[in-house]
Amino acid sequence: MFRRNWVDLLITIVIFGLCLGVYNATLTPSLSYVSPDGNELATVCYTLGLAHSTGYPLYTWLGKLFTFLPVGDVAHRVNLMSATLGAAGVAFLYIVLRLLTSDLRQRAASRAASAFAALLFGFSRTFWSQTTIAEVYAPNVFMLTLTLVLLLWWARVEERDRRNRPRGEVWWRRFLPSWRSALLLFGFGLCFGLSLGTHMSNLGFAPAFALFALLVGPWTTLSPLGGGAAVTGFLLGLLQFLWLPLRAHTLLDAPMRANAPTTLRGIYNYTLGAFPQFKFAFPLTALPDRVVVYLYFLVQQFGFVGVLLGIGGMWLLLFRRPRRFFLLIGMYLVHVWFFIQYRAFDLDVFFIPAHLVYALFIGYGVGWGLKHVAKVRSSALRWALVGLVVLALALGLVKEVRANWAVNDRSTDTAINDFYENVFDLLPEGAVLLSRGGVFGYDLFYFRLVYDVRPDVLIPALEPGLSPEALVGREVYSTVPPAELGGRRNPWSPPPDWVPSDVWAVPVLIGNTVAQGTNRPLVLYRLTEEPPPLIVADAQPEHRVEKRLGGLTLVGYDLEEDSVEAGGTLHLTLYWRVEGAPGRLQVGTALGGVLLEVHPLGMGNLERYVETFHPPRNGVLVEEYRVVIPRRTEPGSAPLEVVVATGGGLEKPQAVERVPLQEITVLVPDVGR
């Protein structure tokens, strides 16, 4: 297609470069909580371990290649894979659209519509969000569009070959495809099989692919050389799943280890049989509501105008190119039907392939419209209409980018790295660090498995089978909330016999997740049998304040230092006098007007402390902790504030009050940090 047409090659390169530039500008610098699986995937790519179900062998291997890039840290490089392959997927989407709109006989209209629809999908909210983190969805779009390119290219070659065959040829020669047709079918089958290593749901497209092949070239599809080539390529792609039993011993997730893919049954349960509790989880009576949920996501991606253009494109494709229509509508309906009945908190990302197909409908509809605008007889009117349409399309893309940039910009998200780098600085020699296990523990595991940080610190979640005796004589810390150490447990919580039931969990370090857009707490607790000195009879803070805030009086504070490197910590002690019942008070720390952290009054230990020790009512409540300053904080002077909220906390407060403490000098971070 591009051998004689350098314009399409140039447009493809421009689309790739534009998308990669935008994705890279909004890329997450390293680890992130945007995806529950991203930290595991970044680590597994480096260690060549086994990811959670469904295993994702191809993703792991591609990620390993990207870890050799000399930019950023390992997690950044795997994030960059999402950006690069996502941009390549959008570029391939342009090629798919050019193949799809080739019947318009108007190259300029086809190119403009194809570029518009490809970029409309590329900058759509959900897909863009997956190009900035370590996740499977952007690489999966790359594999899916590559599969479609090969399939549509084969259809073009097959249809041309069949038209050029001599009339009256011997019947058995109909089963002999050309070498190009057979080679493209093999490539299509191989790519389709490999794509299951980026997402297993691609298997649902098989019926649509098979129907399309039969409609385009029944003789070739049913022949050993044609259909056999496709099946052979597909089976070769499936060989990647031999990776599962080979690397099953690397699993750190207890539920996954219990169903390790070491047998044929285990491999099935790990792949096609995975997550049965999520599949078809809603009764038929709920389907109308589930369809509404999907339509909400669809409008969120393309807007009402885009949805209408897609409906028009479907209608036109049905009558103009019915074979292509049945391919795309088959892919679309199967995918939507399956996932509207899927129970997942991040459901929006599962519809990305359906959004991709819908973008093809939009592109065809726009191309048909541009073709007819270009047919207007009056030259002046034609150019005026073309100019208006192109301007409208360009403005639509600009509006989409502006609307979705702020939502998907993760370039300042350094919360996990900032927190754990300070955790490992604070932990004493030979300490024990309890954490979640499995997928949710890789925010910590990454630092040990990839960079072998602090090998003297014992992390029990990384050593299955370790007994509680290993904790004897060691100081114990935890990143798991106290509730998970006690009654409210889940399969990824530390074993219940690791710590005494009456242990005190004293926060010593609080991360900056509030400032960086996530509600997942990052707190380091020191576990001790001795209660903290939470309430004292008298206190002499270094700095007196005596400021009343929402039923509290801030008596004063201690501050160990008045300057801090970005990415470092401030050591703060607050002294409170509680007047009456504290109720639902939340306390936070802000720097330069940006909220850094939020915590319940007394760091979660106040109620138990009062019930246990019955301190005097006129006592002073002491909160001592370190708070992480985000690495991307601008150097310079900024006011440190204490914030108190009543009612629904700092997210939905009934009232918020602030009191400035003093100016803090933020320094340029150390290069080695």
pLDDT tens across 106-121, in order? Answer: 888 999 999 999 999 9
CB 556 within 8 A of CB 542: yes
Give the whole-angstrom CA distance, residue 12 versus residue 222.
34
Strands (E), 27-145: none
pLDDT tens across 197-254, in order? Answer: 999 999 999 999 999 999 999 988 999 899 999 999 999 999 999 999 999 999 987 7
pLDDT tens across 96-105, in order? Answer: 999 999 988 8
Give the whole-angstrom CA distance, residue 619 versus residue 598.
23
pLDDT tens across 442-491, in order? Answer: 999 999 999 999 999 999 989 877 888 888 889 999 998 887 776 556 77
| Closest to 437 measured CA to CA, from 469, 472, 468, 463 | 463
Q: At residue 653, does pLDDT exceed 60? A: no
Residue 648, Ramachandran bin (φ over 0: left; ψ between -120 and 50: alpha; else beta) = alpha
Give the whole-angstrom CA distance, residue 21 versus residue 272.
36
With tokens 């890789």, the residue in question is 442
| Higher-confidence position of 640 and 438 | 640
Structure tokens at 577: 């006098």
Q: What is the mean pLDDT of residues 330-341?
A: 96
Structure tokens at 369: 């419209």
> Which pLDDT band, with edges at 50, 70 and 90, does 2 fall under?
very low
| Higher-confidence position of 328 and 258 | 328
Q: At residue 278, does pLDDT exceed 70? A: yes
pLDDT of residue 1: 45
| Higher-confidence position of 145 and 487 | 145
pLDDT tens across 503-540, in order? Answer: 899 999 999 766 555 567 899 999 998 888 899 988 88
Q: What is the mean pLDDT of residues 652-660?
A: 72
Ordered domains of the chain (ranges, CATH): 6-163+275-408 (no CATH), 412-530 (no CATH), 535-673 (2.60.40.10)
> Which pLDDT band, with edges at 50, 70 and 90, does 144 fall under?
very high
Q: Give the chain's mean pLDDT.
A: 90
> Which pLDDT band, with edges at 50, 70 and 90, does 383 fall under?
confident
Phi and psi torsions of 75, nearest 5°: -65, -40
With tokens 């011993």, the residue in question is 249
- How far separated are the first and last CA of the chain, in Å rounded? 49
CB 220 within 8 A of CB 181: yes
